[in-house]
Structure 1
Amino acid sequence: MAVPDHSNNPHLPVNLDKPPHIPGFIPIALPTAETFKEKFIRKTKENPFVPIGCLATAGALLYGLRAFHLGKNKQSQLLMRGRIAAQGFTVVAIIFGIFASSLKPKQ
């Protein structure tokens, strides 16, 4: 099904080939899409404690599972408690980052 050409039709109220002209409105260029790496770096610079907490959580989990596998129950329990503390640290860092960004003036 072909799309009809309405660009030269005087009966249409707008020209569909170009955006409408609105007096007093100045269009701005849309920002380019960020890649995952760019967004990760930007977010890490904004709040570096979140990735630190995530790495601490993952490290304690992996090391605790390894200790559990080797039969070191006391060390495994200690590391699982450390994992909970690291998760708590991460949650507090996220909440602090949200609070800090809400206080930052808009650009």
Structure 2
Amino acid sequence: MFKAAPGPVTPGAPFEPSQPPVIEGFSPSICSTPESFKEKFLRKTHENPMVSIGCLGTAAALTYGLYCFHQGQSHRLQLMMRTRIAAQGFTVAAILLSLAASTMKSRS
């Protein structure tokens, strides 16, 4: 029933895939030396070691739980799966806390 008035027509394509998008208020910083995977992994581990500890705990509980499953130790398997869930919760909490800390740090 109601027709919207057509917006202003801009010459040329609105999006050029070969060029990065222009975002108001954002100026990208170009890194002169790209990080390797190992360098980035070590930097992130030093920035927030609790996430790495949680990931290692999760992997250890899962691995030992699978070993107990293979051995037929159902009681120990259940304990390890519960431990894995606790370690995953710890990891998620560490990620959220580091995100909140970095957000508060950037606002200051």
Letter in 1 for 2:94: A
- The CA distance in 2 between the partners of 1:38 and 1:58, in whole Å, is 22
Aligned-pair identity in percent equals 58
Q: CA RMSD in A?
A: 1.7
The structure having more radius of gyration, on CA atoms, is 1
Matched with 1:85 is 86
Deviations 1:39-86 (A, max 9, x none): 111111111001110000000000001001101000000000000000
Kindly report which structure 2 residues correspond to 1:12-27, keeping only aligned pairs within 5 A, or say none: none
Which is helix-richer, 1 or 2? 2
Q: Which runs of 5+ in 1 are unaligned?
A: 1-27
> Cα gap change, 1:29/1:58 in structure 2, threshold over 3 Å: closer, same or farther?
closer
- Secondary structure in 1 aligned to 2:34? coil
Q: For residues 28-67 of structure 1, what are the structure 2 equivalents within 5 Å?
A: 30-67=31-68
Cα–Cα, structure 1 residues 94 and 29, in superposed 2: closer, same or farther, change >3 Å?
Answer: closer
> Partner of 1:95 in structure 2?
96
The CA deviation at 1:105 is: 3.8
Query: What is the aligned partner in structure 1 of residue 72 from structure 2?
Result: 71
**Long gaps (5+) in structure 2:** 1-28
Q: CA deviation at 1:29?
A: 6.8
Relative to structure 1, the CA distance from residue 67 to residue 45 in structure 2 (aligned partners, 3 Å threshold; closer, same or farther) is: same
Q: Would the alpha carbon gap of residues 29 and 60 (structure 1) be closer, same or farther in structure 2, given more than 3 Å must change?
A: closer
Match of 2:19 in 1: none
Q: Secondary structure at the match of 1:31?
A: coil
Number of residue pairs matched? 79
Shift of 1:30: 4.0
Residue 100 (structure 1) shift: 1.0
TM-score (norm 2): 0.67
